[in-house]
Amino acid sequence: MKQTQLQKKIRRNSLTIRYDRRTFKFYPDSHTISLTTVSGRLVFPVAHSPLIGKYRGEYTNAHVFIDVKHRKISVMIQVKIPDREVNIQADHEVRVIGIDRGIKNIAVLSNNKFINSAHLKDVKGRYRYNKKKLQHAGTRSAHRKLRELSGRERRFVQDTNHMISMQIVNLPFNVIAIEDLRSARMKKKTNGRRFNH
């Protein structure tokens, strides 16, 4: 590599910084967030939606997005909301549906309804093939296209999961029981591959 290339400044249009519970603290009442930086622990003011009051819990991690081009900074905070007891009045019928999540079928419902993941895996397979070709090319335009494909794939998966969850929520049941994915059997790989739905 030439010396002139080493002296060029690396410029980015955007930057993402990840924080966990050890490196950040969110204070919704005072509209501030505390972040660990190279200059030590610093507190910054934040403007958040009034809906944040509905989602109080344990703030586990945060992503800070820095848009250099438009000079904007946004923060996405993940909150773990404690489980709530389901109180159903005596004159209401309790209708429970169970959901089992898997690989071949994204969701299997206790009312014998199967939600297949064939289309999702097919689309993800095409994205995986295209990204592999771009990674092999190694050019600057290929890396830019690779980032675009990764964002497009992520939005597709999020939209698919959202539509599936809406289908389940709109079913005539007032209690939804979901399996505990933290069990040991869910940590095993299937055929050496993992599928993130």
pLDDT at residue 25 in the model: 93
pLDDT at residue 48 in the model: 81
Phi-psi region of 104 (alpha: psi -120 to 50; beta: other; left: phi over 0): alpha
pLDDT digits (tens, 9 = 90+) for 27-82: 988 999 999 999 999 999 988 877 777 788 889 999 998 888 888 888 988 888 87
Mean pLDDT computed over 132-161? 87
Residue 10: how many other CB atoms lie within 10 Å: 4
Calculate what percentage of the chain has a pLDDT beyond 90.
14
CB-based contact 28:48 (threshold 8 Å): yes
pLDDT at residue 181 in the model: 61
| Helix ranges (DSSP H) in the chain | 3-6, 118-137, 140-169
CA–CA dist 74, 170 (Å, integer):
33
Q: In what order do the strands lie in the sheet with 72-80?
A: 14-20, 58-67, 72-80
Q: Are strands 175-178 and 96-101 parallel, antiparallel or unpaired?
A: parallel
CA–CA dist 35, 42 (Å, integer):
6
CA–CA dist 148, 14 (Å, integer):
13
CA 99 to chain centre: 20
Q: Are strands 175-178 and 58-67 parallel, antiparallel or unpaired?
A: unpaired
pLDDT at residue 131 in the model: 87
Structure tokens at 63: 């992503």
Q: Are strands 96-101 and 72-80 parallel, antiparallel or unpaired?
A: unpaired
Residue 46: burial class (beta carbons within 10 Å; 0-12, 13-18, 19+): middle
